[in-house]
Amino acid sequence: MEGSSETSPLGEPITAKFVPTLSAVESVNSFQNQDFSDATSFAEINSPMLLIDDASTPKKKQACSQEGSLYKPQCDEELKPKVGMLFDDIGSVMEFYRMYAHHVGFGVRLGQQKIVDNVLQWKRFLCAKEGFRPEKGMVVVDPSKKRRKVKLTRCGCQAFIYVTRESDGKYRIASLTEYHNHPFVPPSHQHLIRSNRQISERVKTTLHDCQKASIGTSLAYRFLHFGAGVFEHVGCTQKDLQNQYGVLKNKIKNCDAQMLVDQFGRLKALNPAFFFDYEVDEVGTLVRMFWADATSRKNYGHFNDVVSFDSTYNTNQYEYIFAPFTGVNHHMQSVFFGAGFLLHETADSYIWLFRAFLRAMSGIAPRLIITDECSKMRNAIKQTLPNTAHRLCMWHIMEKVPGKVRPELRNDLVFYDRQKHCVWNSETPAEFEERWESFIIEFKLEDHVWFAKKYELRAAWIPAYFMEIPLTGLLRTTSISESANSFFKRFICRKLTFVEFWLRFDTTLKCQRQNELIVDNTSGYTTSELVTPWEIDRQGRAVFTHEIFELFQAQVLAARDDCDVQNTEICEGIKIMFVSDQYKKIREVSYDTTSMTAKCSCKIFESTGIVCRHIIRVLRGAKINELPRLYVLKRWERNCKRDILFDGEGNMLEENLIDPVDIAMKRKVALVRNKLEDLMRNSKCSMEGIEFFHTSLCNAELDLAQLVPAVACNTHQNEESFIGSIIPKHVTIHTPTDINARGTCSRIKGHRDGVRSGSSEKKRRPGIHQKVARKCGICKELVFHDARTCSKKQMTQ
Mean pLDDT by groups of 10 residues along the chain of 797 residues: 37 34 34 33 32 37 53 88 93 93 92 92 93 70 68 88 94 93 89 85 82 80 82 84 79 86 91 94 93 95 91 73 91 92 92 96 93 90 94 86 89 91 90 94 93 92 88 69 61 72 86 91 93 93 95 94 91 88 89 88 91 94 90 93 88 75 81 87 88 90 83 69 78 78 45 40 41 71 73 65
According to the model, what pLDDT value does residue 547 have?
94
According to the model, what pLDDT value does residue 737 have?
75
- What gap in Å lies between CA 243 and CA 526, rounded to an integer? 50
According to the model, what pLDDT value does residue 447 have?
92
Q: How many CB atoms lie within 10 A of CB 619?
A: 23
According to the model, what pLDDT value does residue 523 have?
92
66 and 49 in contact (C-beta within 8 Å)? yes
The set of long-range contacts for 562-571, using a CB threshold of 8 Å and a minimum separation of 24, is 562/613, 563/613, 563/614, 563/616, 563/617, 564/617, 565/617, 565/618, 565/621
- What gap in Å lies between CA 324 and CA 356, rounded to an integer? 13
How many angstroms separate the Cα of 148 from the Cα of each of 137, 151, 238, 379, 741?
A: 11, 10, 20, 51, 20
- What gap in Å lies between CA 256 and CA 341, rounded to an integer? 14
Q: How many CB atoms lie within 10 A of CB 742?
A: 7
Q: What does DSSP assign to residue 530?
A: P
According to the model, what pLDDT value does residue 7 have?
35
DSSP H stretches of helix in 318-444? 347-360, 375-384, 394-399, 401-404, 407-410, 413-424, 429-442
User: Could you give the 3-state DSSP secondary structure of residue 207?
Assistant: helix
- What gap in Å lies between CA 400 and CA 752, rounded to an integer? 8
According to the model, what pLDDT value does residue 144 have?
67
**Which of 49, 21, 50, 18 has the alpha carbon at shortest distance from 33?**
18
According to the model, what pLDDT value does residue 209 have?
81
Torsion angle of alpha carbons 260, 265, 266, 270, nearest 10°? 140
Distance of CA 141 to the CA centre of its chain: 41
Buried b (16+ CB within 10 A) or exposed e, 49-87: bbeeeeeebbeeeebbbebbbbbbbeeeeeeebeeeeeb
- What gap in Å lies between CA 289 and CA 363, rounded to an integer? 18
Cα angle vertex 541, ends 536, 543, to 5°? 95
How many angstroms separate the Cα of 671 from the Cα of each of 534, 572, 661, 666, 674?
A: 49, 72, 15, 9, 5
According to the model, what pLDDT value does residue 578 have?
94
Element (H, E) at 695: helix 687-707
Radius of gyration of the chain (CA): 38
Beta carbons within 8 Å of 681's beta carbon, 6+ residues apart: none
303 and 317 in contact (C-beta within 8 Å)? no
According to the model, what pLDDT value does residue 1 have?
39
- What gap in Å lies between CA 300 and CA 322, rounded to an integer? 19
- What gap in Å lies between CA 511 and CA 505, rounded to an integer? 10
**Which of 574, 630, 580, 627 has the alpha carbon at shortest distance from 602?**
580
How many angstroms separate the Cα of 196 from the Cα of each of 82, 98, 107?
A: 22, 8, 7
According to the model, what pLDDT value does residue 502 have?
87
**Which of 632, 625, 577 has the alpha carbon at shortest distance from 599?**
577
Buried b (16+ CB within 10 A) or exposed e, 512-541: bbeebeebbeebeeeebeeeeebebbeebe
